[in-house]
Chain A
Amino acid sequence: MNTIETPATRPREHFEFTGSGADYFRIWIVNIALTIVTFGIYSAWAKVRRLQYFHRNTRVAGSSFDYHARPVSILKGRLIAFAVIAVYNAAGKFNPLLALMVAVPIVLALPWMLRQSLRFRLHYSSWRGLRFSFRGDLPGAYRVFLLWPILTVVSLGMLGPMWHQRLKRFQHDHSAFGATPFRFAASVGQFYAIYLRAGLIVLALAVMGAALFAVAGISGPLHGRRAAALLLGFAIFAVVFAAFSVTIGPYLVSRIQNLVWNNTTLGPHCFHSSLKARKLAWIAASNLFLIVITLGLFMPFAAVRVARYRVSTMTLEPGTALDEFVAGEKSSVAAVGEELGEFLDIDISL
């Protein structure tokens, strides 16, 4: 956004994250131990605590966010998700055909589950006592979670940026805070511009990777030895993979988050996001390294580092007083979709 001309604008409200890695590590490790000694049952309570930690430590305009889901409903969702995934895995081990028969209904139900997941996550989040909500309809969910992915594949990825825009529009245009709806204005062209630049970076990396391969292949003293060549190939793959995950990943995440939030409004209020790809890349790379050498013990510190940086780059530009939001209607939402999405490793964070 480049429209902050109003002379008597209200002060920008900066988002801030008050959590610390040391605090979160203790919570994380105690909850993992409890989860294990209760055979996983406690994981639902641990999840609520984790989300409460991140919500309540995120502040804007002097107030924290909060998370209200009841562990029991998350436990139910987890049990259902566990059963579905177990059936799918067992089927896959015995017979790929059978796995397909189980997978098709799961894929067909996926849009419904993801919509459910969005509803659940927002419904149980609040700020200053008012709940968020998601009101996207089912046909819309089938379009962005089934039709558009298929179109993207059929078009060999050419429609990918358009899918991404449709997805973000579906999420942001149907969300509300209390009775006030969010609005989303980023255009398809803006998504394409980001992906085009990302494509150029990929191209540059691919050329470098190919050159590395060629050099290693010609001059390598390992020439002719199969195992060594295999190892070398693996090493190059690992380097390229790591290069991608600390370049393209952070680049896309930062540019898309900025684009999405700079074009999202809540009533008269605007948002501003200024994530830097380079800083995010540094955090991602150092986190990955530290997680690997600590066998995962660095994970809670890593999560806090990422949250602190991402939150710190967000500001809220109030159009009127922030005291004027009112509550919307109340209802309850089941956790099934949210949990299945999590098991299938589908993250649709806002």
Chain B
Amino acid sequence: MSTGTTASVTGSYFDGRTSARHPVTLSTDGSGAVHVSGTGVDRFEAFAGISISEPLGGAPRILRFPDEAFCEIPPQAGLDAFLAAANHADSPVVKAQSRWSWAFASALVLLAVIAIGYRFGLPWVAQLIAERIPAPLVTKLSQQTLEFLDHAVFEPSRQPAQRRERLTREFRDLKTPDGVAVPHEVVFRAAPRVGANALALPSGTIIVTDELMALTENDDEILAVLTHELGHVQERHGLRLLVEGSIVGFALTWYLGDVSSLAASVPAALLQARFSRDHERAADAYGARMLRANGMSPTLLADMLEKLEKSHGNPNAATDRNRASDYLSSHPATRERIEALRGGNGAKP
């Protein structure tokens, strides 16, 4: 008997066919096999054929034999020596799980990944995916959305056909900031229940409500809103928000799923509002560039935002999801947007 290789522990043996529990002693002499002995049990088995379960708190370790039989070994003094004699080494994951330093490091990794992923990774992935959604699918889905909105909230436009045609024509003739044409279609609808609003569908359909047109006599201001919406189309904001929202919702449900899916939906809405605001800012910037490229002033858009804000003095539940979530913090954000548009144009009258 050489020292350090002989070890024994006590446990229970089960044959896998009945629930009979056999108290046993497991011993090894370093020859690579274990001897299981107790009342009615006398078994030799090579460690090579045995799988040993990982430690899970106060749970017993399980030595599983090639045939359904196994031993349960409760935590005890000689267990480590026995496992060492069995040449058993825990996996790296198990080692990490047993140390506070690793738990702490994991928490830090978690925090870093969440912060970086949320701020940079998610928008990047969303853009990547949004660019790869096939155009026919986008068109089809946008058509269906428009049909649904027509059915549910919109009515045919009552604005003079002349004004609508002129707006469509003038907008078509505007240059985009980078000179690349963005396929689009402007449609007009009355929306008494939604109020003044404009929204862009991913396919490039831009919907302008009569109520928005009624806010101003100056059609240049409406053109300014259209440049903002074209920014949404050009940068695929609708699809990106869809992807971003899905991933955030999915991650939170997974993390908080044990508590309640209701609890997860509130932070999800708050987190999503941020992306929505980022998109609004990006669309504003695009609109401002486009206006300047055509010799117009970005303040047109700022003026229109101000009028829109006033007309929605009481936040109306808009059907446009982007806007609905934007309202969670719309007031400071809108002010900031107006100032950004006016400031960016400070030198010009």
Contacts and interface: CB of A to CB of B under 8 A. Distances in A.
- Same assembly: yes
Interface of A: 18-20, 23-27, 29-34, 36-37, 43, 49, 52-53, 56-57, 61-64, 66, 85-86, 89-90, 93-98, 127-130, 178, 288, 291, 296-297, 299, 303, 322-327, 342-343, 345
B259 A291 contact: yes
A56 B57 CA distance: 9
Given A32-B106, A57-B56, A93 B148 contact: no
B106 A29 contact: yes
Nearest to A66: B62
A236 B160 CA distance: 49
A29 B321 CA distance: 34
Most buried by B among A36, A57, A322, A325: A36
A320 to B, nearest CB: 11
B256 interface: yes
B67 to A, nearest CB: 11
A255 B242 CA distance: 43
Of all A-B residue pairs in the complex, the 9 with the closest CB atoms, nearest first, are A23-B57, A56-B59, A18-B58, A33-B106, A325-B19, A129-B14, A323-B20, A128-B19, A94-B141
Given A30-B102, A30-B106, A62-B21, A129 B15 contact: yes
Interface in B178-212: none
B70 A129 contact: yes
Say what secondary structure dominates the interface of chain A: helix
B266 to A, nearest CB: 11
B253 to A, nearest CB: 7
22 contacts: A27-B97, A30-B106, A31-B97, A36-B113, A37-B109, A56-B59, A57-B59, A66-B62, A86-B246, A90-B242, A97-B144, A129-B15, A129-B16, A130-B19, A296-B256, A297-B107, A299-B258, A322-B19, A323-B18, A324-B19, A343-B253, A345-B261
B12 A98 contact: no
A281 to B, nearest CB: 16
Given A19-B58, A128-B21, A36 B141 contact: no
A326 B18 contact: yes
Interface string B245-266: 1100110011111110100000
A18 B253 CA distance: 28
Contacts of B43: none
B60 A89 contact: no
Contacts of B62: 56, 66
A43 B148 CA distance: 38
B17 A327 contact: yes
A19 B21 contact: no
Contacts of B321: 93
Contacts of B120: none
Interface residues of B, number: 55
B72 interface: yes
A285 B145 CA distance: 43
Nearest to B17: A327
A342 B257 CA distance: 9
Contacts of B17: 129, 326-327
B110 interface: yes
B261 to A, nearest CB: 5
Interface in B312-349: 321
Given A19-B58, A33-B110, A323-B20, A96 B242 contact: no
A346 to B, nearest CB: 10
Interface string B89-114: 00001001111101101110110011
Nearest to A32: B110
B246 A26 contact: no
B69 interface: yes
B173 interface: no
B268 to A, nearest CB: 12
B50 to A, nearest CB: 15
A342 B254 CA distance: 10
B14 to A, nearest CB: 4
B110 A25 contact: no
Most buried by B among A29, A37, A52, A129: A129
Nearest to A345: B261
A29 B103 contact: yes
B68 interface: yes
A235 to B, nearest CB: 15
Contacts of B16: 129-130, 327
B68 A129 contact: yes
A94 B145 contact: yes
Nearest to A24: B57
A297 B104 CA distance: 12
Contacts of A323: 18-21
Given A18-B59, A129-B15, A303-B258, 10 more contacts: A19-B59, A30-B93, A56-B53, A57-B57, A57-B59, A86-B246, A89-B249, A324-B20, A325-B18, A345-B261
